[in-house]
Structure 1
Amino acid sequence: MSLFTHLLACLLGMGSWVSINGLWVELPLLVPQIPEGWYLPSYLSVVIQMANVGPLFVTLMHRFRPGKLNETAVIYLIIGVGTLAGLLLAFFWRETAVVAGAPRSVALLALTFFLSTVDCTSSVTFLPFMMRLKPRYLTTYYIGEGLSGLLPALVALVQGVGVVDCVNGTASARTANGTVTYELEARYQPANFSAEVFFFFLSAMMLVCLAAFLLLNHHPAVARERQSPEYTNGVRASDKRADPFRAVDAKPRSSFGAGTYSWRQLFYIFGVLAWVNALTNVVVPSVQSYSCLPYGNKAYHLSATMAAVSNPLACFIAVFLPIRSLLVMGVLTVVGTGVAGYIVSMAALSPCPLLVHHTSGALLIWRGPPVEEPPGGGAPLVEEPPVEEPPWWRSPPVFAWIVFVLTLSYVKVIIGLILRDEGHSALVWCGAVVQLGSLLGAVTMFPLVSVSSFFSSGDPCNTKCP
């Protein structure tokens, strides 16, 4: 194996979704400075789904004009557009224009559309490109794709995005003995560096992705790692015999790819793929704040960070356990779906989910910030009894998010390996189904989150539950 080629495959995967993942983690810094406020995530969800015009075009070209689309040229184009759009965001994200009588962040939304087109189209171009390399590098690509969410999250953590202090606000009550109770106000701490610097970082990451793609195409060390005649549909015959988890028939069972799987099995595989991506890309992330903030700001940030760590961790595990079993895939999907149901249920119960502020759940709840003296002196505030802070893994939202992302990320790798064995067109359809699942998830969750009042936000400083 070439470690150099593994590094390049990882960097290519990292560039696939780094721009949009970075934009999401930067929202707490952007929202206070734009006219849309916290309606911005809803607008971004719509814009990102509109960008599926890119993968739709590529998929239709592969279906009706096979061989006419220059895949390498498309990848160069989308990486270049992503680099330029990230650079322009650093200069123009604050710019507004009057639309329908109200100021709108036209530049931010328009540039987000181009970034989304780049990232969505990468699903149907980067994966088929990996067919040119030996199968082992596909798992490395998935590790890089997981890092595309982790790296921006870590940079945002250093930046100090979304760090909240609870400070005394207005007086809410005064007792007979003169004791005053004050409402706490959540105030965001200033960031260590600006959003402009963060967008320059995202643009630089796309440049790194471009350099990695250039080397994957032209470096002599990578040329030695391309597929040789001993591979059929990307898999050596010896590997097929040695893999006890792979279903192999001498006689083709369908006309799809290598014919390894029947049409019923293929519908099952693609159905699971769409379902898993709907959950991981849209459904559960759209209610993350509702499910975590009632347990405290620290639990919210830890759940986001540990979820970002779990994704590449699952891909790293797949390097050593490249299972292709449909049964294992189904079991892990059921487990991940069950945890997703728990997370969404806690979000629906927000701001008072299970065990929050209850004695029975004391070991699972984070302690709030220390209570300060009221401004200008006066009677002390009424304090709640302190609760001992537990290890991070014993906080319900953190543990649930780790299990959710770990299991379903591994399912995505299993499906990627299965379809990698079936050939180039199978990976094109893999990317198309990924985007279809995300689209269906967005269509389902947008009215629930943005239009109806089904979910209610929890206040990390003043949530009161019976």
Structure 2
Amino acid sequence: MSAMDTSEDQKSLNKKVNNMSLFTHLLACLFGMGSWVSINGLWVELPLIVPQIPEGWYLPSYLSILIQMANVGPLFITLMHRFRPGALNETAAIYVIISLGSIATFLLGFFWKETLVVAGAPRSVALLVLTFFLAVVDCTSSVTFLPFMMHLKPQYLTTYFIGEGVSGLLPALVALIQGVGVVHCKNSTHLLNQTFTTFSNAVVVELQAQYQPANFSAEVFFFFLSAMMLVCLVAFLLLNYHPSVAREHPTKRYTNGVKEPCQKGRMCSAQRSMIDPYRPAKQRRKSSFGTGVYSWWQVFYIFAILSWVNALTNTALPSVQSYSCMPYGNNAYHLSATLAAVSNPMACFIALFVPIRSLVFMGTLTVVGSAVGAYIMGMAVLSPCPLLVNDTSGGAVMVLAWIFFILSLSYVKVIIGLILRDEGHSALVWCGAVVQLGSLLGAITMFPLVSVYDLFTSGDPCNTKCP
């Protein structure tokens, strides 16, 4: 065989490997997309659902409670990994929760408007029960999907996080096409009541907000969400059984969540280099956590930041997004919601090529992102008359604030995921648990402020007047 033939064969093999690498990246992205697509989709569909159910705008507060109750799923998984390592079949659990999500979203398309009389009043029992199952699916994905990514090379974890970002972006884009929440201000006239002094009627003309009819129904939207969950299921099947994806498995160190002892000698060193090739081969362990690279104070620091950024991005700031944006107009609200959803996968894409793992940089970016979040929260508290409300620059500043807030803190979350991925399977399980803990703390903090104490005031998109 000539050298030219050998070179051509090598090029053909490299091209085939690169194509399969892209295929695996696509599967990892589609798998990550199924993590939160159903709950994210339900939230963006609320403006269309709320007018047709007896709970009205109390539904968001009910959903918040149901989602936090659903943390019983990740709690169970975490306890099983802690006290019965190896007893839980992780792959089977993922099949169950994806299938449950597909079925629950499909049933929502038929039963979301159905009511039952409970305690003398009509209630959307089917909607609430199915939402609870969806919440169990999505919350449990945090402690099952992430550890599963240990079966693939580290670069695919970043692609998985891109898919998680798409799980929020895709439903938002479909809802925009659907026309959910689009408001038109139209003139409305009504008679002012007679007074004893004038005995005359006064005609008052004011703008009235009217919501544009949707381009397609909520039923079609729920069937779309069910299809997305099925796509996630197919992607997971291919990640497990496609023969070419097997080449992307870095090592067999983990079997069903249990770390296998590495062999002595050069094999152990080779396995260690596959975890993180930039670490010294012989480095003194600073703690018993993972590979021992980080001290317990550093581990606490990493998990504290992870909990904080998830509390802000998953529950605290999203719960006041309408209060922070609507005073600047309907366009500012939709732009901030859509571009913030784009910022999440964009941050993951940046981290794919520029993964800065410095703990100092991580803390600095968290502080800067939190400061932007504090500005957003402050404008929500000042609603309906925040700063620059009568200036065209006010809406632009708010949209940019949301973009940078999500972009910066999403990047922090991805980098922490990469760090914990190198620390092993158990570290990723705890990563998912801390993500849910942070979201829970954010919800517990914001629920009474928004729903009980009425700290935030909505502005009329057509008639709010500020000095």
- TM-score, structure 1 as length reference: 0.88
CA distance in structure 2 between the partners assigned to 1:303 and 1:63 by the alignment: 40
Q: Residues 310-349 of structure 1, C-alpha deviation per residue, up to 9 Å, x if partnerless?
A: 0000000001011211011101100110011111110000
CA distance in structure 2 between the partners assigned to 1:234 and 1:406 by the alignment: 31
Cα gap change, 1:365/1:14 in structure 2, threshold over 3 Å: closer, same or farther?
Answer: same
Q: Tell me the equivalent position of 1:270.
A: 303
Q: Aligned-pair RMSD on alpha carbons?
A: 1.9
1:167 aligns with 2:206: no
- Equivalent position SS for 2:248: coil
Q: Tell me the equivalent position of 2:277.
A: 238
Match among 87, 106, 109 for residue 106 of structure 2: 87
Q: Would you say the 8 A contact 2:387–2:394 is kept in 1?
A: no
CA distance in structure 1 between the partners assigned to 2:277 and 2:412 by the alignment: 24
- Equivalent position SS for 1:238: coil
1:22 aligns with 2:44: no
Q: Tell me the equivalent position of 1:354.
A: 387
- Equivalent position SS for 1:412: helix
Q: Would you say the 8 A contact 1:165–1:189 is kept in 2?
A: yes
Q: CA shift at 1:71, angstroms?
A: 0.1
Q: Would you say the 8 A contact 1:227–1:234 is kept in 2?
A: no
- Equivalent position SS for 1:16: coil
Name structure 1 gaps, 5 residues minimum: 242-247, 367-394
Q: Would you say the 8 A contact 1:254–1:260 is kept in 2?
A: yes
Cα gap change, 1:190/1:237 in structure 2, threshold over 3 Å: closer, same or farther?
Answer: closer
Choose 1 or 2 for highest CA Rg. Answer: 2
- Equivalent position SS for 1:465: coil
1:226 aligns with 2:249: yes
Q: Tell me the equivalent position of 2:400.
A: 399
Q: Tell me the equivalent position of 2:13.
A: none
- Equivalent position SS for 1:414: helix
1:97 aligns with 2:116: yes
CA distance in structure 1 between the partners assigned to 2:460 and 2:172 by the alignment: 22
CA distance in structure 2 between the partners assigned to 1:73 and 1:35 by the alignment: 38
Cα gap change, 1:204/1:355 in structure 2, threshold over 3 Å: closer, same or farther?
Answer: same
Q: Residues 233-287 of structure 1, C-alpha deviation per residue, up to 9 Å, x if partnerless?
A: 684453436xxxxxx9701111011111000000000000000000000000000
**Amino acid of the structure 1 residue aligned with 2:424:** G
Q: Tell me the equivalent position of 2:209.
A: 186
Query: How many residues in Structure 1 have an aligned counterpart in Structure 2?
Result: 426
- Equivalent position SS for 2:287: coil
1:7-406 correspondence to structure 2 within 5 Å:
7-171=26-190, 182-228=205-251, 232=271, 235-236=274-275, 238-240=277-279, 250-357=283-390, 362-365=391-394, 395-406=396-407
Cα gap change, 1:158/1:282 in structure 2, threshold over 3 Å: closer, same or farther?
Answer: same
**Amino acid of the structure 2 residue aligned with 1:254:** S
Q: Would you say the 8 A contact 1:14–1:146 is kept in 2?
A: yes
Q: CA shift at 1:102, angstroms?
A: 1.6
Cα gap change, 1:316/1:118 in structure 2, threshold over 3 Å: closer, same or farther?
Answer: same
CA distance in structure 2 between the partners assigned to 1:289 and 1:10 by the alignment: 29
1:424 aligns with 2:425: yes
**Amino acid of the structure 2 residue aligned with 1:72:** T
CA distance in structure 2 between the partners assigned to 1:251 and 1:298 by the alignment: 55
Cα gap change, 1:133/1:205 in structure 2, threshold over 3 Å: closer, same or farther?
Answer: same
CA distance in structure 1 between the partners assigned to 2:302 and 2:78 by the alignment: 18
Q: Residues 376-426 of structure 1, C-alpha deviation per residue, up to 9 Å, x if partnerless?
A: xxxxxxxxxxxxxxxxxxx12211100100000000001001100100000
1:456 aligns with 2:457: yes
Q: Would you say the 8 A contact 2:324–2:380 is kept in 1?
A: yes
CA distance in structure 2 between the partners assigned to 1:236 and 1:115 by the alignment: 34
Greater mean deviation of Cα atoms: 302-311 or 165-174 = 165-174
Q: Would you say the 8 A contact 1:249–1:260 is kept in 2?
A: no
- TM-score, structure 2 as length reference: 0.88
Q: Would you say the 8 A contact 2:149–2:156 is kept in 1?
A: yes
Q: Would you say the 8 A contact 1:146–1:308 is kept in 2?
A: yes
Q: CA shift at 1:20, angstroms?
A: 0.3
**Amino acid of the structure 2 residue aligned with 1:327:** V
Q: Would you say the 8 A contact 2:30–2:163 is kept in 1?
A: yes
Q: CA shift at 1:13, angstroms?
A: 0.3
Cα gap change, 1:234/1:435 in structure 2, threshold over 3 Å: closer, same or farther?
Answer: farther
Name structure 2 gaps, 5 residues minimum: 1-17, 194-200, 252-266
Greater mean deviation of Cα atoms: 448-457 or 230-239 = 230-239
CA distance in structure 2 between the partners assigned to 1:173 and 1:285 by the alignment: 39
CA distance in structure 1 between the partners assigned to 2:394 and 2:287 by the alignment: 53
CA distance in structure 1 between the partners assigned to 2:248 and 2:358 by the alignment: 27
CA distance in structure 2 between the partners assigned to 1:232 and 1:98 by the alignment: 61
**Structure 1 residue runs of 4 or more that deviate by more than 6 Å after TM superposition:** none
- Equivalent position SS for 1:463: coil
Q: Tell me the equivalent position of 1:376.
A: none
Q: Would you say the 8 A contact 2:71–2:140 is kept in 1?
A: yes
Q: Residues 359-384 of structure 1, C-alpha deviation per residue, up to 9 Å, x if partnerless?
A: xxx34156xxxxxxxxxxxxxxxxxx
